[in-house]
């Protein structure tokens, strides 16, 4: 009887071994994943979102346009706030430059024809959005403050032409026809109307940081 009982206990122990091994393996795996996550967080905290993206975008297996979930892309409201911040900058520049021109010019700019006055103001808008986005590689001052960035799948650094079309001309059209901004709401990848012509997207650097820290993007 004792021999039979001992044999049954031994058989039960053998049956428990795979489960115990699985638990042990999962424990080691979770510990390793926690260690890697900690290392990624430690590394990411030393970099700005812009720097983190620049250093790690090459590790993303799929391209920027198709590879991420919708939630990586910057949404309507954050982009609207960034745009309003930039427009305040534009209005300030327009007032400053036109005011300075009025001061030094024998003929006040205000006395010029309305079409010419309009052209000067829109030229300032185009130059502002084009140059800031080019010099900051996808970030105007508004985007910089809101931690979002324009990215292009095939351009690690946005070209001046892309910045001119997407930001210069795009913002000129958007400031004239604001209703076009709602395309961001209905687009699966949150593109605005001009993104379809320039193959660009606007990503949330905070969300990219989260994905980098939690799941890694180099695997």
Which pLDDT band holds residue 166 (cuts at 50, 70, 90)? very high
| Residues 45-85 pLDDT 10s | 666 676 776 766 665 545 454 555 567 889 899 999 999 99
Count other Cβ atoms within 10 Å, centred on residue 4. Answer: 8
Please state, in angstroms and rounded to a whole number, the distance separating the CA atoms of residues 218 and 160.
29
User: Which of 147, 130, 129 is closest to 50 using CA atoms?
Assistant: 147
Using a cut of 0.95, tell me whether the model's pTM lies above it.
Answer: no
Please state, in angstroms and rounded to a whole number, the distance separating the CA atoms of residues 218 and 61.
8
Asked if residue 180 lies in contact with residue 174, where contact means CB atoms within 8 angstroms, the answer is yes
| Residues 197-213 pLDDT 10s | 999 989 888 888 877 77
**pLDDT over threshold 80, residue 125:** yes
* Structure-token pair, residue 116: 């010419």
């Amino acid at each position: 009887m004792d021999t039979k009982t001992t044999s049954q206990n031994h058989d039960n122990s053998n049956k428990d071994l795979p489960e115990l091994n699985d638990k042990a393996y999962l424990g080691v795996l979770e510990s390793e994943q926690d260690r890697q996550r900690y290392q990624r967080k430690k590394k990411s905290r030393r970099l700005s979102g812009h720097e983190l993206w620049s250093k790690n975008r090459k590790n993303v297996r799929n391209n920027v346009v198709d590879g991420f979930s919708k939630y990586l892309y910057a949404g309507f409201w954050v982009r609207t706030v960034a745009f309003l911040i930039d427009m305040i900058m534009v209005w300030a520049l327009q007032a400053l430059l036109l005011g300075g021109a009025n001061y030094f010019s024998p003929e006040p700019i205000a006395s010029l024809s309305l079409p010419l006055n309009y052209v000067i103001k829109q030229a300032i808008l185009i130059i502002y959005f084009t140059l800031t986005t080019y010099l900051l590689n996808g970030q105007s001052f508004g985007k910089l403050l809101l931690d979002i960035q324009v990215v292009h799948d095939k351009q690690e650094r946005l070209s001046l032409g892309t910045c001119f079309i997407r930001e210069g001309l795009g913002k000129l059209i958007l400031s004239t026809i604001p209703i076009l901004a709602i395309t961001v709401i209905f687009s699966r990848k949150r593109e605005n109307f001009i993104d379809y012509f320039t193959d660009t997207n606007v990503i949330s650097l905070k969300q990219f940081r989260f994905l980098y820290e939690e799941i890694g993007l180099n695997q």
